[in-house]
Amino acid sequence: MKKQNKIHENSKHEQLETFRSYDQNQRMTTNQGLRLAEDEHSLKIGERGPTLMEDFHFREKMTHFDHERIPERAVHARGYAAHGEFELYESMKPYTKAKFLQEPGSKVPVFTRFSTVAGNRGSAETVRDVRGFAVKFYTEEGNYDLVGNNMPIFFIQDAIKFPDLIHAVKPEPHNEMPQAASAHDTFWDFVANNQESAHMVMWHMSDRAIPRSFRMMEGFGVHTFRLINEEGKIHFVKFHWKPKLGVHSLVWDEAQKISGKDPDFHRRDLWEAIERGDYVEFELGVQMIEEKDEFMFDFDILDSTKIWPEEEVPVKIIGKMTLNRNVDNVFAETEQVAFHPGSVVPGIDFTNDPLLQGRLFSYTDTQLIRLGGPNFHELPINRPVCPFHNNQRDGYGRQTINVGQVSYHKNSMAGNTPSTSKENEGAYVHYEEKVEGRKIQARSDSFKDHFSQARLFWNSMTSPEKQHIIEAFSFEVGKVKNNDVKQQVVNMFAHVDKNLATIVADAVGVEAPDVDEVSEVKQASPALSQESTPKLAKTRKIGVLIGNGFIGEEVKRTINALLEEGVVVDIISEKLGHLRGDNELGVEVDETFLTVHPVLYDGLYIVGGEVGNQKKFENDIVNFINEAYEHYKPIGIATTGKSLFEKSNGQTGPGIVSNSETSNFDKLFIEATAVHRHWDRKLL
């Protein structure tokens, strides 16, 4: 056990250290190791003469620069990642023989990449989109990749339609617009004519598509896999990542503004959290169904447009992932990491989900073109921690220096090495599923119900969540120029909820839907609502709006209370520098009104005070209050800040906590911060 832990905890870190060593006393050399005397001037004939071709350093430096870019991912191009570890809570031995899931307390290194789907690598991060959630486990049996999204389902049922989906959602080819957005004609034309997308579109129009943070969204394996134990018994399984901070989102107006104020908002949030020691935690859960129960549900468990409702198939929490180290180089790690749902270990196998089956082909094909050849597994970020031996040779980017004259199987000249292993020696053996049937290009009738679970999702939303879905449809379909497409969309979603479709039809200027067959699903699944997830003040970001002359003891007490609760505090004022309170207690300003914006904070603490340009200072604070108030955020008001709040559009009520009106201010403000949004607030 000690040996196993050493492998998991140390070897990947040590392996990567070899490639990122840094010494401040390093001397500059060429890539061949030749020390350089000059790196600022190319070799010329005379000071104003032509550059000479014999300047090998100039040629090497420029050639490398000219070839630095690789093709970005066709999807999931905009991503960010971090290192961490996965710790197992309880043994999964009854269900799988995967070694990293056997011993409680055992740990394996992980690398996790979050991403948007539709936008290019330079697009904004708070757009309405699905988020990728891919985890690479570096286990002693090889790398295991759990490659999923922040939504548990997908738009299509068969991978053959994936190119069509992505072509439809990407910028339209005739004008290359819009970037990183689904609010345009071709996407909604695809939706209306591929109605299997109904359930996923409901998720896409929900708050799940605009997460507050990578740290505050769920992750899902999407597909149905198999777990296989030592006795060969199988369970069908779906994987879930549950964020310890709960699932929370932005509001749409806020998301749009953040795209302009800080297009790096999500990656900055992840980077800063890890740098300050607020390590990111997700618990791994599994839903499992015995093989004998495969057909007992009113949906096909292999259909990737369907969830397994948690009320019917509970999620069993089995471990925790902690992201605790930022990358050292985004290109070498985040960009070059190669995920593949086909990277599995013994005890985890595939099912006949036709979307999963297509992904098993597509991912390898993608890495070959992106990373320049078949040796992408040798890049440090992709290299397994266990030894690997086979007869594959040569190719672009080969790093291994193979020795010996034999590179084939079977052989006698090298004692038939490397040799294959038996199952009881740790070899991967595919599950022997019995399959019979004719070759056919068709889909099972069990995949034909497209609206029941879309209705289940709608039923499970709270009133504010439903209103946000209506507004999202109204915005997205309102951006469509083709009236026929708009009419098709509202007619389609009338099958989910006629009132929803009727409101949207009115908003986008088409006829109310004339649809008789509306889903009669009455059930709800509370697990689908974000409101049922944890609400914590920890790591929330509060902006303190302050000037000189504040009440020192009051402000000190509140800021300390916030910090003790794990809240992140930024001091914001007219300009950078030092501010002093009434008792000479001082604070250092972190940001100015020019460098930040209220949409970048989860709440505000209004202190006020005196500065050089008092009128502008007070106007800036009032503008911050108005914006935060309209986005339903908590606002704490110090004694000296009351008059400023009274000048704003804000009204006393939910999420508004005033120090002059309660003796329990700090506690109540922290509780209001944990709530995240105060939806019952009255807006003007």
How buried is residue 231: exposed, middle or buried, by Cβ count under 10 Å (0-12/13-18/19+)? exposed
CA distance 114 to 337: 12
| Closest alpha carbon to 453 in 316, 310, 351, 354 | 310
Q: What is the pLDDT of residue 683?
A: 84
| Closest alpha carbon to 575 in 551, 597, 593, 549 | 593
Tokens of 389: 């031996």
CA atoms within 13 A on the CB side of 443: 18
Order of all β-strands in the sheet with 541-546: 591-592, 568-573, 541-546, 603-608, 635-637, 656-658
Of 1.10.357.10, 1.10.3720.10, 1.10.260.40, 3.40.50.880, the CATH number of 535-675 is 3.40.50.880
* pLDDT < 50 positions in the chain: 1-10, 19
User: Radius of gyration of the chain from Cα atoms?
Assistant: 28
> Is there a contact between 334 and 114 (Cβ–Cβ < 8 Å)?
no
As annotated, the residues of the chain forming the CATH 3.40.50.880 domain(s) are: 535-675
CA distance 659 to 215: 31
CA atoms within 13 A on the CB side of 49: 7
Element (H, E) at 60: helix 56-66
> Is there a contact between 644 and 619 (Cβ–Cβ < 8 Å)?
no
CATH of span 79-378: 2.40.180.10
pTM across the whole model: 0.94
Angle at 522 between CA 520 and CA 526, to 5 degrees: 140
Q: Number of H helices and number of E strands within the chain?
A: 17, 18
As annotated, the residues of the chain forming the CATH 1.20.1370.20 domain(s) are: 463-531
CA distance 645 to 604: 11
Q: In this structure, which amino acid lies at residue 561?
A: A
Does residue 471 sit in helix, strand or coil?
Answer: helix
CA atoms within 13 A on the CB side of 67: 8
Q: Which residues contact 354 (CB under 8 A, 6 or more apart)?
A: 157, 158, 159, 160, 302, 443
Q: In this structure, which amino acid lies at residue 342?
A: G
- pLDDT per position as a tens digit, 387-429: 899 988 999 989 999 999 999 899 999 999 999 899 999 999 9
As annotated, the residues of the chain forming the CATH 2.40.180.10 domain(s) are: 79-378
In degrees and rounded to multiples of 5, residue 336 shows phi and psi of -90, -5
Q: What is the pLDDT of residue 663?
A: 86
Task: Give the largest Cα separation in the chain, rounded.
Answer: 89
Residues classed as catalytic: 76, 149
Of 1.10.579.10, 1.20.1370.20, 3.90.79.10, 1.20.930.40, the CATH number of 463-531 is 1.20.1370.20
Q: Which residue has the tokens 């109605």?
A: 195
CA distance 262 to 260: 6
Tokens of 591: 């940001």
Q: What is the pLDDT of residue 6?
A: 34
CA distance 597 to 556: 23
Q: What is the pLDDT of residue 516?
A: 85
